[in-house]
Structure 1
Amino acid sequence: MDLGLTLLVQLAVSMPFVLPREPTLPPATWGSYAVTTLSVLPLVWRRRRPVAVLAVIMLVGAFYRLAMDGPGQPLPYAGLIAFYTVALVCTARVRMAVGVLSVLTVSAATGLETGAARELSFTLFCAGAAYALGRLQYTRQAYTAAVEDRAAQLERANRIEAEQAVARERARIAREMHDILSHAVSIMIVQAEAGPVAVRRAPERAEAAFEAISETGREAMVQLRAMLGLLREDGPAPREPQPGVAALPRLLDRVRRGGQQIVYEETGAVRALAPAVDTAVYRIVQEALTNVVKHAAAGRVSVRLHHTARDVTVTVADDGRGRPRAGLGSDGGGDGVGGHGLTGIRERAAAHGGTVTTGPGPDGRGFCLSAVLVTSRQEVGS
C-alpha cells in the first residue's frame, strides 16, 4: 500500500515537469526532478518512521525552494501525507511536538519566501486538514478493532457455551442410559437366577419370572430406542414421553417379582409435576431400587413421595445389609461410594435445586436414601 501511494504521489509531482510550460518560466531540469523525487521516496517508510520521514521531506522541500529553480507544486503532497501519518500512528506527545515545529517551520519558510498571509493560511489549513483526517482514521481503526475484538470474544463465548451444552447433554444421556440399563439388567439377572429354583419348587413363579424378564427387556429397549434416537442424524427422534411418577407402580411391580416386599405411598399436597421433575423422580426411584436389588439383600423396601408447596421428597429405605461397600458398581452396573448410581442421583437432584442424603434406615437397619427436588420455579430462581 505504501509503495503504491508513493508511486501515485510521484505521478502527481511529475506533472509540472511533463506538461508544457510558459516560455517565461525557467526550464524543468533533470536535477530539479531528481530532488522532487527524493522528497517523495521516503513515503515508502512512512509507517515505520513517520517523524523521520516528515523531517526528511520538509528538509528536501526547503532545499528545493532555496537552491533549485524548478517548477513549483500546487500542493506539498508528500508533506501532507507524512503529516497525516504522524497524526495516525504517533502518540499525543509526539504529535504535539511535531505540530508545533511544523507550524514554526512553515511560518518561517513562508516569511522568507513571500511573506504572504494568504499563502501561510492556505498551507496551515491543508496541514490541519491532513492532521484531522489522520486522527479520524485512527478513531475509525480503533472502533473497527474494538468491534472485531468484541465479535471474537462473543464467538469464543458462544463456542464455550456450545461445548458446555454438549457436555451437559452427554452427561444427561449417560445418566439416562446408565439408569435404564442398570435397572433392566439387574432385574433380569435376579429373575433369571430365581427361575431355575422356581421351576423345581413353584412352576407358577417361574412363569412369572420369565414374564418379568421379557417385560423388563422390552421396556428397556423402548427407552433405549428413544434415547438413541436423540443421537441419530438421519431422522427425527421419537417423541415418546419419558416415564414419570405415573409409571412408578409398574416399576415397583417388576421389582416385586424378584421377591422383595415393596410398600409405596404418596403423601402431602399431591399434584402433577413438571415433566423434567417428573422424570427425575422416576429415575431416582429406579436407581435406588436397582441398588437394593443388586446389593442390599433386603426383604422389605419402602418408597415414599412427599409433596409440599415448594418441593417433593423421594425416600427409598430398605432393611438390607446397610450402606453399599466402596467400589460396588465401579464397573458401571450399580452403586456404592465409588459407583455412578448415587452420583447420578445427586446430579439429578442438583439439577432441580435439591439435595440428597443417605444413611441407615429409620430403625438403624438397612439403607435409606432421601432426595429433595425443588418444584417451585420461584424458589429455584431465588
Structure 2
Amino acid sequence: MPFVLPREPGLPPVTWTAYAFTTLGVLPLVWRRRRPVLVLVVILLVGGVYRVAVDGPGQPLPYAGLMAFYTVALQCPGRVRAWVGAGSVGTVAASVGLSTGTARELSFTLFCAGASYALGRLQYTRQAYTAAVEDRAAQLERANRIEAEQAAARERARIAREMHDVLSHAVSIMIVQAEAGPVAVRRAPERAEAAFEAISETGREAMAQLRTMLGVLRETDGPEPREPQPGVAALPTLLERVRRGGPEVVYEESGGAAGLPAAVDTAVYRIVQEALTNVLKHARARRVSVRLHHGDGELAVTVTDDGRGPGGGHGDDGGAAGGAGGGGSGAAGGGHGLIGIGERAAAHGGTAWCGPRRDGPGFEVRAVLVTSRPEVGS
C-alpha cells in the first residue's frame, strides 16, 4: 500500500529503485518449486539489501521469504531442511539485530518462520497420504480388473465345456444312429424308424440345452424362464438314448442315495455323458457299465466298456483326466472330453482317472466327487 497511497508528509518519496527491489523480492517465487533453496537465498539477499541500502517503505513481514521457506519444508529432504533452518535462524537474528534488536521482534519473527515450516511439513504429509490412497485405489482397481478377467475366463471355459459335452454327445448319438439307419432299413425296418426317432429326439434335446446356455449369455430386458440343468435323475433317459445307438448299457446305483448339491448333481450327469460319448465315438463297445456309489461325503462314478480301449479308441480325447488332481494313465491325445471330466471332478474337491481296464479289454473312466464338507472340529 505505501506504493499506491501517498506517503505521510516529511517522508521521502518512493523511488524506482525501491520498486525494483520490491519486485525482485517477489519475482523469484515463480521458480520456487524448481529451486526452493536458491529462491529462498535470493529473496533473503534482496530483502537484506533493500533494508540496508534503499530508503523506502518495506513490508512489516517478509511474506515472500515465508513462502519460500514453506516450499523448502515441503519439497526438500531432511538434511537440506536442517542446513536451511540453521541458516535462516542466523539470518533472522542478524536482521532483528539491524532493526530493533528486541527479544519481542526476534521471538515473533522466529514464530512466523516456524509456523511456515510446520505448514510445509503438514502439506507434505497430506500429499503423501493422498498419493498413498490414490496408489491403493489404483492397485485395487487393477486387482478388480484382473479378478474380473479371470472370472470371465473361467466362465468362458465353463461354457465351452458345457457346449462341448452337449454337442459332442448329441452329434455322436446322431452319427451312430444315422450310420445304423441304412442297415436297419434293409434288415429291420422297425429299428430304422426307432433310429430316426432317436436322432430327432437327440437333436431337439441338444437344441433345448444350447438354447438354455445361450440364453444366459444373451442380454435381455427381463428374466427368461430357465430349465434346470440335468442331473442324476436324468441318467436313465440318457442311458436309454445310448442303448438305441447299439451297445448294451447297465446302470447301477448303490450306497444309499441322498440329496446331492445342484452343482455336483449336474457334474455327475456331464461326466457320465462325456464318458458315454467317448464310448460311442471311439470304443465300438458291445457292453457299457455305469456305476454310481454314494459313500461317506463323496460320490464315485465309474464308466467301463468292453471296446477297443485307449490304444484303438478314446485316444481322440486323451487318456489321463488332466487337471483332476489325481493320477491316471492311458494314451495321450488332443481332445478335451477327458480333460473336462478331470476339471469337473477337481472343481468339486475330487479326482478323476481314466485308462485301460485292469480286469479285461476295454476302457475305464472313474471320478470321485466330494458331496459334503466336513464340519469344523469334527
Q: Give TM-score, length-normalised by structure 2.
A: 0.92
Contact 1:277 1:375 in 2 (8 A): yes
State how many pairs are aligned: 363
Residue 260 of structure 2 is aligned to residue 264 of structure 1: no
Rounded Cα–Cα distance in structure 2 between residues aligned with 1:75 and 1:237: 76
Shift of 1:66: 0.7
In the other structure, the counterpart of 1:214 is 200
Q: Following TM superposition, by how much is the alpha carbon of 1:336 offset from its aligned partner in structure 2, in angstroms?
A: 6.5
- Give 1:33 shift: 1.0
Kept after mapping to 2: 8 A contact 1:310/1:379: no
Match of 1:161 among 138, 143, 147: 147
How far 1:199 moved relative to its partner?
A: 1.4
Counterpart secondary structure, 2:316: coil
1:354 to 347, 350, 354: 350
Alignment of 1:91-110 (within 5 A): 91-110=77-96
The correspondence of residues 2-41 of structure 1 with structure 2, limited to 5 A, is: 15-41=1-27
Q: Deviations over 1:29-87 (max 9, x none)?
A: 11111011011111011011000000010011011011111102022110000000000
Maintained 8 Å contact 1:180/1:223: yes
Structure 1 residues 84 and 74, CA, compared in 2 at 3 Å: closer, same or farther?
Answer: same
Match of 2:107 in 1: 121
Question: Could you give the per-residue CA deviations for residues 316-370 of structure 1, whole angstroms, max 9, x where no partner exists?
Answer: 011110115586259xxxx962111011111111111111111222413100010
Shift of residue 119, structure 1, vs aligned partner: 1.1
Matched-pair identity in %: 78
Correspondence for 1:304: 291
User: What letter matches 1:338 in structure 2?
Assistant: G
Contact 1:103 1:124 survives alignment (8 Å): yes
Aligned-partner SS, 1:176: helix
Gap change, CA 1:379 and 1:353, over 3 Å in 2: farther
CA contact (8 A) 1:305 1:312 kept: yes
Moved more, 77-86 or 119-128: 119-128
1:25 Cα offset (Å): 2.6
What is residue 361 of structure 2 aligned with on the other side? 365
**Aligned position for 1:66:** 52
Tell me if structure 2 keeps the 8 A contact 1:324–1:337: no
Letter in 1 for 2:257: V
Cα distance in 1, alignment partners of residues 225 and 210 from structure 2: 11
Q: Which runs of 4+ in 1 moved over 6 A?
A: none
Pairing partner for 1:345 from 341, 345, 356: 341
Alignment-derived partner of residue 265 in structure 2:
278
Answer whether contact 2:317 2:338 (CA < 8 A) is retained.
Answer: no
Contact 2:292 2:299 in 1 (8 A): yes
Q: Secondary structure at the match of 2:349?
A: coil
Counterpart for residue 174 of structure 1: 160
Alpha-carbon deviation of 1:298? 0.6
Q: Equivalents in 2 of 1:208, 1:61: separation in Å?
A: 108
Aligned to 2:328: none
**Contact 2:288–2:305 (CA under 8 A) maintained in structure 1:** yes
Q: Who is 2:327 aligned against?
A: none
Structure 2 portions without partners, runs of 5+: 319-330
The Cα of 1:379 is off from its aligned counterpart by 7.6
Q: CA RMSD in A?
A: 1.8
